[in-house]
Amino acid sequence: MKKNWVLSQESFDALLKWLSPDRDEAGQIYEAIRLRLIRIFTARACTEAEDLADETMNRVASKLPGIDGTYSGDPAVYFYAVANNVHLEFLRRKPPAAVPVAVDEDADREDEFRCLEECLNALSVENRDLVVQYYQDERQAKINHRKLLARRLGIAPNALRIRACRIRVSLLKCVKKCLGEKIE
């Protein structure tokens, strides 16, 4: 997947303007398209549905200068076409999931939680608080909490998602390293 392009505030503003001249309406359209993309990726059994939806949104934003004056029709259709390409790339890079081997799950879970706790404690207080708050609640409560968290931090929701994803990736590496040292 292409990860070399980062969504800037100017690009995000241009994307919203392309969706609708009214910023509030554009925000609602953006969220509706993003939620639809998440549903599409989830229905296609993608384990990283939110990340793939964000990647789709970023790609459309990166292509916007080239299509802004020439594209006619519903912008959502363009997003869905880009999502198909993102999905195909996801399938190429993801090998089929291996069948899990039955192991003593209680002992493994304890080790995982111990490693997660150690890795959380290794984070800065700011990053630890952000990731814990970001992943709390479920469904609509989670969405509402994330919007409040983004407002409180003074950043866009997409920037919050990116920040939380980066912290999560570093936590995952730390936990794998911790578990790997014990196993190997």
Left if phi > 0, otherwise alpha if psi is -120 to 50, otherwise beta: which for 94?
Answer: beta
Q: What is the pTM of this model?
A: 0.50
Given this model, what pLDDT does residue 19 score?
Answer: 92
**Residue 182, pLDDT above cutoff 90:** no
Closest CA to 51 of 83, 9, 11: 83
| Contacts for 150-153: CB closer than 8 Å, 24+ residues apart | none
> Which position has the higher pLDDT, 101 or 156?
156
- pLDDT tens per residue, range 134-153: 988 888 888 888 999 899 99
- pLDDT tens per residue, range 103-131: 566 777 888 889 989 999 999 989 998 98
**Residue 28, pLDDT above cutoff 90:** yes
Structure tokens given for 87: 């999905």
User: Of the ranges 15-24, 66-75, 155-164, which one carries the lowest mean pLDDT score?
Assistant: 66-75
**Residue 155, pLDDT above cutoff 70:** yes
> Which position has the higher pLDDT, 99 or 115?
115
Given this model, what pLDDT does residue 94 score?
Answer: 57
Core vs surface per residue 164-184: b (16+ CB within 10 A) or e: bbebeeebeebbeebbeeeee
**Residue 3, pLDDT above cutoff 70:** no
Tell me how far apart the alpha carbons of residues 70 and 84 are, in angstroms, rounded to a whole number: 21
What is the average per-residue pLDDT within 86-96?
80
Given this model, what pLDDT does residue 183 score?
Answer: 42
Given this model, what pLDDT does residue 184 score?
Answer: 40
